[in-house]
């Protein structure tokens, strides 16, 4: 009878191995399908993503500066000059939110100027 127990035990092990193998195959298939789904749907979401805040701010007309407006450079940028010597008029606001100033060469960013009070 000892041979019959071994045979039953082998069959039980073989059944467990098949069952675990089937589960592993199913999980692998689900993982692969998830990767494909993610690649397809996340890629579309990136393409249709809403514009960034800075872009939305430009289109809404709520810019930090407008042509004709006066801005004052921070004292750290132009040391040893009083406030009136650091104040300039904006000629043009560029699409990058940088500005061109009257009497000053180059493009300038919002961070270079003092905040409005």
Question: Which of 25, 98, 31 lies closest to 58 in space, CA to CA?
Answer: 98
pLDDT tens-place string over residues 66-104: 999 999 999 898 899 999 999 999 999 999 889 999 999
| Dihedral angle computed from the Cα positions of residues 16, 22, 25 and 29, in that order, rounded to the nearest 10 degrees | -140
What single-letter DSSP state applies at residue 50?
Answer: P
pLDDT tens-place string over residues 36-70: 888 777 766 555 555 555 555 545 466 788 999 99
What is the predicted pLDDT for the residue at 101?
95
What is the predicted pLDDT for the residue at 35?
84
pTM, rounded to two decimals: 0.48
What is the predicted pLDDT for the residue at 50?
55
User: Looking up tokens 């514009």, which residue turns up?
Assistant: 51
What is the predicted pLDDT for the residue at 86?
92
pLDDT tens-place string over residues 10-45: 888 888 999 999 999 999 998 888 888 887 777 665
């Amino acid at each position: 009878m000892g041979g019959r127990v071994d045979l039953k035990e082998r069959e039980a092990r073989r059944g467990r191995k098949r069952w675990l193998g089937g589960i592993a195959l199913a999980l692998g298939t689900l993982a692969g399908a998830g990767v494909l789904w993610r690649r397809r749907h996340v890629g579309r979401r990136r393409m249709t993503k809403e514009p960034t805040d800075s872009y939305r701010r430009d289109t809404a007309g709520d810019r930090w500066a407008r042509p004709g407006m006066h801005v004052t450079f921070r004292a750290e940028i132009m040391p040893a000059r009083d406030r009136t010597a650091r104040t300039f008029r904006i000629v043009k606001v560029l699409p990058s939110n940088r500005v061109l100033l009257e009497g000053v060469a180059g493009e300038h960013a919002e961070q270079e100027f003092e905040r409005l009070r």
